[in-house]
Structure 1
């Protein structure tokens, strides 16, 4: 029997039927057809405040800001695969996605709470080059960890200009097929437990040699205070 694989698509587009949203949904469709259970988080529908840098999350394991983030965080932590989708704004992912990633915060990073998960990035722009750059950057959210690594299944950047005219994603059969295949791929990666041994190898080595001892020492020294939640999470998972 196949593992019950959970894939979440996080969409930061401001348009419910926008180009990026269309491609992320097609990726989720591919994942669902491969046997995964899928869920969409359309960030513009949620109330998300900006991170204040209080570090309450590393002490208590949750954010004190009165908004929808803790509900979103729970869904992210329960997922096996996460597809991040943002339109390209000035060669970067947009402000809503930036807010979301920042709200995952130091607790997610320090406790490696994306560890073991598979990620992918999708972006659109007038030019394919800019879209690919942002899609890769989104995917690389999963390329760095301190105590437990995560994996990048791939990314997709799509240009919406076609022969001098804008072409919507829903009209771009090639882009839809690639998005669909990306959803299939991330599901198969999870099912087959693909480890990608050479992925982000240099960064992983640097993190293991230099950063892990520093963070481990800080967490152990502050395990009763500002790093209590981090310590408890890592200890429970046998990572510390």
Structure 2
């Protein structure tokens, strides 16, 4: 049973006290009550540039852009569980969250540096189905573990428009309770090493049979050059 548990929340809402941020913080409260140490990353507080698609992270293990992202990357890599929160914009997560995913880079993907971690997705929207869709979409990057899989502890989508009137989350005790339970759940999953054997099973089979051999060959062929950092990370962790 894991004892020292780190949970990091990434909030992409531009509204510090908005509905999405409030739900994510309530999930962090739940995680904290289960004994986890918690950290909040409010993306709007960071000076983040857009990914330039240079792929240098694969060779160097970090992004060449000098801004606040490497601080975020370190927290993500050290975390056992990650809570992702974004408002729903046109049935998608917002641009700040998209920037966050892109800045994690192909290095994170190729090296499976999200492998072994547990994730929760939280979103709010005027539309119930939209919020649920985006909450699930937030966890999508965790489904694609080439060399080591990740786990999805759950999602929460909350609609905030009731009878044509937007409601504040502070008035929605049911949603807050669900967020708190989700924070507790992700911490318990980590604590008791819940493996979810049937989660994403089809994608895992496709990855194991088809994608992993392709990526492995590519990384080995370029381990002294453009995939130097990817190879080093995988080799150090016994994954290649």
* TM-score grouping bracket, smaller chain normalisation: over 0.9
Q: Which residue of the partner structure matches residue 132 of structure 1? A: 132
1:140 CA drift (Å):
2.3
- Unaligned runs of 5+ residues in structure 2 are none
1:238 aligns with 2:238: yes
Q: After the TM superposition, which parts of structure 1 deviate over 2 Å for at least 4 consecutive aligned residues?
A: none
Q: Which residue of the partner structure matches residue 19 of structure 1? A: 19
Q: Which residue of the partner structure matches residue 224 of structure 2? A: 224
TM-score normalized by structure 2? 0.99
1:158 CA drift (Å):
0.2
Per-residue CA deviations over 1:15-61 (Å, capped at 9, x if unaligned) read 00000000000000000000000000000000111001111100000
Whole-angstrom CA distance in 1 between matches of 2:53 and 2:38: 31
TM-score normalized by structure 1? 0.99
Closer, same or farther in 2 for the Cα pair 1:52/1:194, shift >3 Å?
Answer: same
Count of equivalent residues: 240
RMSD: 0.8
Does 208-217 or 164-173 show the bigger shift? 164-173
1:2 CA drift (Å):
5.4
Per-residue CA deviations over 1:45-90 (Å, capped at 9, x if unaligned) read 0011100111110000000101100010000000000000000000
- Unaligned runs of 5+ residues in structure 1 are none
Q: Residues 144 and 200 of structure 1 are in contact (CA less than 8 Å); yes or no, is this contact kept in structure 2?
A: no
Q: Which residue of the partner structure matches residue 161 of structure 2? A: 161
Whole-angstrom CA distance in 2 between matches of 1:143 and 1:203: 8
